[in-house]
Structure 1
Amino acid sequence: MILYIKNMVCNRCKMVVKAELEKLGINPLHVELGEVTIDNDLDTQQKEQLEVVLNDLGFELIDDKKSRYIEKIKSLIIELIHEKNNDLKITLSDYLSQNVYHDYFYLSNIFSEIEGTTIEKYFIAQKIERVKELLAYNELSLGEIAFQLNYSSVAHLSNQFKKVTGLSPSHFKNLRLGGRKPLDEV
């Protein structure tokens, strides 16, 4: 059985959810961003307990199909940008269609309907959050960041960064305000 969990957006989230499942006596076979595979179905009491525990931790068990697609899309984008450094050999639309097993047009429409933004804008917002993170670490040049995140040029990264944040990357870096958002709030 697969459980879909909203706001599970990082490795720490995966560890916390896995630990809580184990405390409840539920055996997680596989834990990924936004989803957990367990060895058997949950009874009503287990499901209710799990919902309470997850809600207390800021997560949410997802039951409806559209919301599961949205969380899968978000998880794939977050994983792509924050763990795989945007190492994408095909278009984002093909990547999502292949991994969510649905037509991109359909996925795009339900994403926009439910989230109030497009997949592309969400993708850009996640990329900008990753740029902020890499700028804060102060280990890579802007050119290296642009290359790592598959921007066509430093100018393209800078223009997109300024359009989203209102600041140039260098101004953001010099401010050292943090200005970063948790991934589940992007």
Structure 2
Amino acid sequence: MKLYIKYMVSIRCKMVVKEELDKLDLRYVILDLGTVELIDDLTPGQRSILKIGLLKSGLELMDDKKAVLIEKIKNIIIEMVHYTDELPKVNYSDYISEKLGLDYTHISKLFSEIKGITIEQFIIAHKIERVKELLLYGELNLSQISYMLNYSSVSHLSHQFKKVTGLTPSFFKQLKGKKRITLENI
């Protein structure tokens, strides 16, 4: 049985879900961002307890098919931008479409209707948060970050960063991260 969990966007979220599953002695095959594949079906009582336990941690068990698809799209983007060392060299639309096995036009239209922004805007917002994170770590320079996140140039990255944040990357770095946004709120 497959479950879909909203706002499950980090390793910490996975730990919370694992803890809730363990409390109910629920065995799983896969525990990934946004999804859990259980070995056995849930009873209505277990589902209710799990739902309440997840809500206490800010997570939601989802039933609506559109909401599930939106969460899958979001999780693919979050994983792609935040949890890989280098972004794929293909078009993001092709990457997302291939991962979901669905037509990108359909995915894009649905995402825009539900979220009120385009997938491209969502990706840009996450890329900028990733840039902020990497700038604060101080291990990479702007040129390396630009390459890592598939920007065509440092200038392009800097322009997009300023457009989204209102700050230059160098000025942001001087602020020491006071303007970071949690992944759940992007």
Which interval holds the TM-score relative to the shorter structure?
A: over 0.9
1:50-129 paired onto structure 2 within 5 Å: 50-129=50-129
| TM-score (structure 2 length as normaliser) | 0.97
SS in 2 for 1:5: strand
Unpaired runs of 5+ residues, structure 1, are none
Structure 2 unaligned spans of 5+: none
Q: Deviations over 1:152-180 (max 9, x none)?
A: 11000000000000000001001214311
Other structure's SS at 1:129 match: helix
Query: Which residue of 2 is the match for residue 180 of structure 1?
Result: 180
- Paired residues of 1:22 and 1:28 also in contact (CA < 8 A): no
Equivalent residue, structure 2, for 1:45: 45
Q: Could you tell me how far apart the structure 1 residues matched to 2:37 and 2:177 are?
A: 39
Mapped contact 2:132–2:177 kept (Cα < 8 A): no
Provide the TM-score with structure 1 as the length reference. 0.97
Could you tell me how far 1:18 is from its partner in structure 2?
1.0
The answer for the alignment partner of 1:148 in structure 2 is 148
CA contact (8 A) 2:28 2:38 kept: yes
What is the CA deviation profile of residues 43-77 of structure 1, one whole-angstrom value per residue up to 9, with x for unaligned ones?
A: 11011001100100100011111111100011000
Residue matched to 2:6: 6
How far, CA to CA, are the matches of 2:172 and 2:154 in structure 1?
Answer: 15
Cα deviation per residue 1:9-52 (whole Å; 9 max; x = unaligned)? 01111122112111111112111110011001111101100110
* More displaced 10-residue stretch of structure 1: 40-49 or 175-184: 175-184
8 Å contact kept, 1:5–1:60: yes
Flag as ranges the 4+ runs of structure 1 deviating above 6 A: none
